[in-house]
Structure 1
C-alpha cells in the first residue's frame, strides 16, 4: 500500500511542475490577502479567482498521469523538506478547492445577513480562509514529518481563528477549548516526531519506511502521533469538542471544518500507519473498534440532538467512523481486500466532504431563514423553504448511503473489503450506521413536513445561498455517477500510468 501514497515510485519532476506546486500552495494565500483588501460583496469574484489553483491542479494531475509521481526536495539551510504530487494528493487538492470555493461564494451573502459579522471579522475571514487552504495543500503534498507538522500547526491555528470570528461569548469559549485541545494534539504529535528523529535520525517518510524497526520506540512514537491526530480529527472517544465548536461557528466555517480540516488529520494518521506499521493488524482493529463506536454513538447522538446544527455535527462524528474502518481493512490484510478498501476509504472521504459541506450550508440557510435553532421548530419548512430542504435531502442521500450517490458506492466497496478480509463485524456496523443515518435525517424531515404548523415570521435567504448548497449537494450525487474516474486514478500505483 505504501507505493499508492506515491512514496516509493518517485520520478524526476517534469519541467514546470515545480512552479505548479508553488502556485498550488501560494495562490490560495495570495487570494486570501486580496480578499482582505477588496472585501468582495458578491461570491462570483471569489469563484472566478479560486478556479486558478484548481486549473493548476488539473494540469499537474495530467502530468502525473503521463510521467508518474512528481517529487521535489526543498533545502532551507540544514533543513530538508520533501514533497510529492500523485493522483491521490491532487484529487484531495481538487476536493479542497471545490469545498473552499463553495464556502467563499456562500460567505458574502451569509455575512450580510448575520448580526455578528463585524467589519473586523470580515477583514480577517479571507486571509484565514486562504491560509487554511494553503495549510491543507501543504499536508496533501508533504512527504516528511517536519513539513506535515508545519502544515498541521498552520491548519489548526487558522481553524481556531475562523471559529473565533463571530466574537460571541459561546464562540470564544468553544474556540478557546478547541485551541487547547489542538495544542495538546500538536504536542503529542511533536513528541512522536522527536522520538522517531532521535531513534533513526531522519524525518522523510521514504527513509523512515526503510530504516524504522518494530520495537518500543516505534510503538510509543506511533501512539503519540496517532493520539494527537485522532484528537484533532474528533475521532471517538476524543470527539467531545466538535459539537460545541460547530454550534457557535459561522456556517461557511463549519462547512470547511467538517469537510476538510478533520479529514487532513485522518489522512496524516492513515499515511503514517501505512508507512511505519503496515503489519500492525491488532492495533488497526482497535482503531476499527473506535470507528464502530463512533458510527453508533454519533448516530444516536445525532438522532437525539435538539438543535439542527448539533444533528449535523454529531453526524460528522458518525461518518468519520466509516473512515476509521479503513485502518483494519488496509493494514495486515490480503492485497485483494486492501485494494478494495483503498478505493472505498478515499471515495468515502470525498463523498462525506461534499455531502457534509452541503448539509451545513443547507442547515445554515434554514436557520437563517427561520431564526430558530431547534429541529422541532422547523415545522412547516417544507412549504416555505423547499430548496433548502431539497439540498439537505440530497446531501443526506450520500450520508445514508443510498444509490446513486458516492456514499453508496463507497460503503459498497467497504462492505466488499470487509467480506474479502473476513472481518464480519464491520458489516454489522455498516448496517446499523445506515439505519441510524436514516433515522436522524428523517427526523428532520418529519418536523419539516408538518403542514398545520403556525406561520411564523421568517426572512427568505438570497437565492445564491440556496443555489450554492444545491450545487454542492448535487455534486455528491454526480460523484457517485462518475465514480469510475477517481477510482481509476486511485488504482494507479502512486498515480503512474
Structure 2
C-alpha cells in the first residue's frame, strides 16, 4: 500500500485475547462464560479502537512476529479493509455472545462446547483478516473451518451431525485446492507475501492454474452456486447462535480472501470472461436461492437459503469493479459494505428466529401464528433486518446496493442492475411471507414459552445496527478508500462495453 507504514503493538492482542478466552473456557467450562463475555470483547474493542486511531494517523499498520518481517518471518498487516472486517466481527460477535448467554442458560445441549469453539473461531477470524501472506491465510482459514464444523454439530442430533460432516468434507476439499495453488505460486516465485507477489505475477499458464485452484477452493468455502450444497443443511440444522455465526461471519472470510487475491495478487488474470462468469454464477445464486427460500417450510431453512441468495450479490462486485478504473472503488466499496450490512442483518434474522422457535417450540413457518403478540421485539428485529436484506432505505443494504447500481450504470453493465432490483423483490417475497404468518391470530390450543430477555434484545440490536449503517456510511467508506491505492495500483482494468 502506498503511504506511511508503522508497527502496531495492538495487533497481537486481537488474536491472543480470544485464544486465551477459548483456553479458559475449555478449562473452566460454562461457569466462566459470563466473565469472559464481560472481559474479552472489551479488550478486543479497546485494541481495535487503538489500531483504528493509529491507522488514521500513520496509515498502514503492520506487526512482524518475533521482529522478523516478510519475506523471512510472519507479518500481520491492517489497512482500511482489514479494519472494517475486524469491526464487523467484533460487533456481531459481541451480540451473539450476549444472546448465547441467554440461549444456553438452561439445559440446552451444546453449551459446554459452544464457548471454547466460539472464542477460537473469533481468534481465527481476526488472524485471517490480519494475515499478510498466502500460507498464514491458509492456516487461519483451516482453524476457522475446524471450529465452525464443530459448532455445527453441537446439538448432537443426527441431522446436524450429518450436516457438520458434509461441511467439514467440503471445507477440507476447498483447503486442499487452495493449498495446491499456493504451492504452485511458491515454487514459481519463492515468496508467499501478498505485497511482494503482487508485483511478480504474470499471465502465464502455471499462474492461471494456481489462481484457478485457489479460487475454486475459496468459492467452495464461500458456497457460491453451484458449490453451495453444504450450506443450507449446515446453517439450517445448527443451533441459532451458531447459524448466526456461520452466515454472518464465517462465509465472509473466504469472500474477503477472494477480494484480496484477485485485486492485489492476480489482477492480470482478471479477464472479462472470468469476471462476467463469476457475475453470472452470482446472479443464478440470487434467483435460485431466493426462489428456494420462498418455498421452504422451516424458518431456519428459509433463512439459510436466503444466505445462498445474498452470497450471489457479493460476487457481482467482480464484474463491476474490474470493468473500468472509474467504477472500481465504487463497486469494491459496495461489495464490502454489502458484506458488512449482510453480517448484521443475517445474524439478526437467525437470532430472532431462534427466539421465535423457543417461544413456539416449532420450526415450521405455518406454526408461527401469534408470535407477533407474544414476541414483538424479535419480530420487529426480523422485520428491520429484512429491510436491510431487501435494500430499502435507510439501511446499510440500501447504501451497498446503491453503490453497486451506480457502478453498473457507470460502466454500462445494465444487466447487473436488473439482477439487483429483481433480487430485492424476491427477497421481499420471502421476508413478508414470514411476517404475514407471525401477525395471524394464534390457534386456541397454542402454547407459548418464555425466553430470556437478552435474546430478543441482542437480535434487535444487530438489526438496528444494520439499519444505522445506512445513516453512518461515511466513516466505513472512508476506511475503504484508504485501502483503494493498494488495490488500484495492482489492478489491470479492462473494458466490458465500448
TM-fit CA distance, 1:401:
0.7
Give 1:47 shift: 4.0
From 284, 294, 297, the equivalent of 1:306 is 297
Residue 225 (structure 1) shift = 0.5
How do 1:75-224 residues align onto structure 2 when only pairs under 5 Å count? 75=68, 80-113=73-106, 115=108, 117=109, 121-224=110-213
- 2:354 paired residue number: 364
Matched with 2:286 is 295
After TM superposition, where is structure 1 displaced by more than 6 Å over at least 4 residues in a row?
none
The root-mean-square deviation of aligned C-alpha atoms, in Å, is 1.9
Which residue of structure 2 lines up, in the alignment, with residue 254 of structure 1? 243
Aligned to 1:281: 272
Residue 77 of structure 1 and its aligned partner are, at CA, apart by 12
Aligned position for 1:5: none
Return the offset for 1:12. Answer: 4.0
Q: Match for residue 260 of structure 2? A: 271
The structure-2 alpha-carbon separation of the partners of 1:158 and 1:42, relative to structure 1 and needing over 3 Å to count, comes to: closer
Aligned partners of 1:42 and 1:105 also within 8 Å: no
Is the 8 Å Cα contact of residues 69 and 495 (structure 1) preserved in structure 2?
no
The SS at the match of 1:13 is strand
CA distance in 2, matches of 1:113, 1:307: 24
Cα offsets for 1:316-372 (capped at 9, x unmatched): 1111111100111112x2222111112111111110000000000000000111011
- Contact kept, 8 Å, 1:236 with 1:294, in 2: the verdict is yes
Distance 2:349 2:484 in 1: 32
**2-side partners of 1:415 and 1:139: how far apart?**
30
8 Å contact from structure 1 (residues 86, 494) kept in 2: no
Change (3 A) 1:378 1:69: same
Contact 1:68 1:495 in 2 (8 A): no
Compute the displacement of 1:165 (Å).
1.6
Give the secondary-structure state (helix, strand or coil) at the position aligned to 1:83.
strand
| Aligned twin of 1:315 | 306
- Residues matched between the structures, number: 481
SS in 2 for 1:404: coil
Aligned to 1:3: none
Which residue is equivalent to 1:344?
A: 334
Q: Is the 8 A contact 1:43 1:104 kept in 2?
A: no
Gaps of 5+ in 2: 487-498
The CA distance in 2 between the partners of 1:350 and 1:47, in whole Å, is 24
Counterparts in 2 of 1:383 and 1:320: CA distance versus 1, 3 Å:
same
Distance 1:138 1:340 in 2: 27
> Which residue of 1 is the match for residue 40 of structure 2?
49
- Inter-partner Cα distance in structure 2 for 1:238 and 1:419: 29
User: Which piece of structure 1 moves more, 50-59 or 355-364?
Assistant: 50-59
1:52 Cα shift? 1.1
CA contact (8 A) 1:239 1:317 kept: yes
**Equivalent of 2:390, from 363, 379, 400?**
400
TM-score (norm 2): 0.93
Deviations 1:89-144 (A, max 9, x none): 112111101111111111122123464x1xxx433222211111111111111111
Deviation of 1:275 (Å): 1.8
The Cα shift of 1:34 comes to 2.7
State the 1:218 CA deviation: 1.2
Contact 2:71 2:192 (8 Å CA) reproduced:
no
1:48 CA drift (Å): 4.3
Match of 2:77, SS state, is strand
Aligned: 1:22 with 2:12:
yes
